[in-house]
Each structure stands twice: as structure tokens, then as C-alpha cells.
Amino acid sequence: MNSVIFLGTPAFGATVLEGLIKAGYDIKAVVTQPDKKVGRKQKIVYSPVKELALKYALPLYQPVRLSKSDDLDALMAIQPDFLITAAFGQFLPTRFLKTAKIAAVNVHGSLLPKYRGGAPIQYAVRNGDAETGVTIMEMVKEMDAGDMYAQAKLPIGPDETSGEVFEKLAPLGRDLLLETLPKIASGEIVKKPQDPSQVVFSPTIEKSEERIPLTLTAQEAKNLIRALNPDPGAFLVVQGKRLKVWAAEVAEDNTSLPAGCLVSNQGRFAISFADSTVLNLTEVQPVGKKAMKVKDFLNGQGKKFNAGDQIVDED
């Protein structure tokens, strides 16, 4: 049975790893990102991949930076048949990739060459794409630039969040990988190079991109909200205070009010955006509060707002 070193971090990676385990692959080592401290109490949280590695008592490594870690020599000495990554979050040294006897393979959450980088699903949702998918590709030194072994497509619903798309992509990626690995091992699969003219990058979302610009249309704002749900969340600054927005719908009516004005707070919380469009916020989270339906917000903090007023601060 083929031996594997697996590298991954979030739930997407854990789904792929468990598929390999259940399919009988010999997991020689699991590499994941270091534990995180979360919240005011700085509680230590394990990655989903670490949780799974502990469950199956697999050898585990958590280097801060693999290329500079003492762990690298130990991992290189294993010389597995496959190196497999799925949302790991670090670059792998070329000399490490070369230790794979058959191939170094990545399960990437997009239809390459769109989108290369750390946030392909978020970009697909934010850009309003109708579909995404997974690509099984050969790992090379350049980020997500290797030849492709296989792809599978997945439609994106108009209201789906990045989190919901992630949940669907993970088993799709797992199944496509398990279908593809034997073909790579036997040599029957032909790699396909990426078209460099079609490359689109999707770098990790910066904190500055979490704020919803008033220059967006209502549809674009809704897409951004969907893209940043469940993490880290998009927000507006309403009268000097952050208001996270977890869900919204594009209103059927337009408005003559400038962007950032309250169009209505009667049964809905409607904000004007670019091109006279209107966005109905449906789930929000004030600072220090839990997420709530907009009707509960309007019965509390939202009472002080008046229709027609500019309530959203400019960027």
C-alpha cells in the first residue's frame, strides 16, 4: 500500500486525510500548523487535522515554518510514495517535494488556473462566480502552478457562504484524490499544464478587506458578506461602531439616497449602496453581542436610527 506524508490544517484537509486513512493508505506523518490561542482567555485550539491525527495516533509535526524547522530532516528521511497537501498554509521546500517517490500532490479548492493562492473559495464567492471546484495538481516551487492531474466542478448557489461551499468541496476533493492517486501511481494519467494567460490569484484576505465599502453595489456587498462567512466576517461602521453583517439580501427597490443611508427600518434594515441599490441586512452582530436576526436588532439598538439618515461611516 502506498505510503503518504500528509500536510493540511482546516476541516477541508481533515476530510481529505480521513479519506486516505479509510482507503488504507499508510500515513507515515501528518504535518499541520501550530496550535492557536483564541479569545480573551487565549484558549489553545487544535486544528481539525491535528484532532484527526491524534484520534488515529498518527505521527504529528507542527512546525512554525517547515523550511526552517528541525522537523524537515526527519520528514525528508521518510521518502514516502506521495506527499499530499490540502489547505496546509505553508510553502514546501523543493528539496522536500523531491523526496516523494511517485509524486507530490496538492488538493486545491478551485478550478486552476483560477484561483491560485490561499483564499480561492472566498474569491469565487466574492466575485459572484456560478461555479468552483477542486484540482488535483502536481506541486512545484511556484505557488499553485504545477501541472494538473484532474478537476471536478461544483456549482455555487446565489446565497451560499464560503463555509457552505467549503463543506461541499471537501468530500469532492477527497473523492477525486482517491480516484486519481492510483492512476498517478500506474502512470496512466496524463498531466495537463496550466494556461498562464488564464491565471487569477487569490491571496489571503487582509483585515482591510473585511470592511464593506460603500462603493460596492448591493449585490457586490452581499457577495463579500457571503465570502467572509464564517470567518472572519464582514462589517460596516455604523455611527462609529462596528456592526458585523452575517447575512443580507438585495432589495427589489432602488433609492435616491446617497450610499450609506438608512432606507428603511420598518420590518427591515435597509442600507443604500452604489448605483442606487439597496441591501437588506438580515443577520447582524453588534460589538460585544452575539449574532442576531435583524428584527431583534431593530427592537434594540436599531430603534435610534431614522430613515433617510446617513448612518454608515465612510471608508
Give per-residue pLDDT as tens, 225-239.
Answer: 999 999 999 999 999
Say if CB 245 and CB 273 are below 8 A apart.
Answer: no
Residue with cell 431583534: 296
Give residue 154's pLDDT. 98
Say if CB 211 and CB 228 are below 8 A apart.
Answer: no
Three-state secondary-structure class, residue 178: helix
Q: Count of H helices and E strands in the chain?
A: 8, 17
Say if CB 289 and CB 298 are below 8 A apart.
Answer: no
Query: In angstroms, rounded to a whole number, what is the distance separating the alpha carbons of residues 256 and 277?
Result: 9
For Cα atoms 80, 91, 144, give the angle at the middle one, nearest 5 degrees: 90
Provide φ and ψ at 269, rounded to 5°: -115, 90
Residues 6+ apart with CB under 8 A from 287: 241, 242, 243
Beta-bridge partners for 243: 236, 286
118: cell is: 490561499
Three-state secondary-structure class, residue 267: coil
Give residue 18's pLDDT. 98
Give the chain's residues under pLDDT 50: none
Q: Tell me, rounded to whole angstroms, the distance of Cα 169 from its chain centroid.
A: 10
Residues 6+ apart with CB under 8 A from 208: none
Give residue 199's pLDDT. 97
192 DSSP assignment = B
Provide φ and ψ at 273, rounded to 5°: -130, -170
Query: In angstroms, rounded to a whole number, what is the distance separating the alpha carbons of residues 3 and 24?
Result: 10
Annotated binding residues for (6S)-5,6,7,8-tetrahydrofolate, written as ranges, equal 110-113
Domains present along the chain, CATH in parentheses: 3-202 (3.40.50.170), 207-310 (3.10.25.10)
Residue with cell 453583517: 245
Give residue 38's pLDDT. 80
Give per-residue pLDDT as tens, 83-110.
Answer: 999 999 899 999 999 999 999 999 999 9
Query: In angstroms, rounded to a whole number, what is the distance separating the alpha carbons of residues 257 and 107?
Result: 46
Query: In angstroms, rounded to a whole number, what is the distance separating the alpha carbons of residues 7 and 165?
Result: 21
Please give the sequence-ordered ranges of beta strands (E in DSSP) within the chain, or none if there are none.
Answer: 3-8, 26-31, 36-38, 43-45, 60-61, 82-86, 103-108, 114-116, 131-138, 148-155, 200-201, 234-238, 241-250, 262-264, 269-272, 278-286, 292-293
Q: Which among 62, 56, 50 is positioned nearest to 24, based on CA atoms?
A: 56
Give residue 267's pLDDT. 87
Q: Which among 249, 207, 247 is positioned nearest to 227, based on CA atoms?
A: 247
Annotated binding residues, written as ranges, equal 110-113
Q: Taken in order 98, 204, 291, 264, is the CA torsion positive or negative?
A: negative
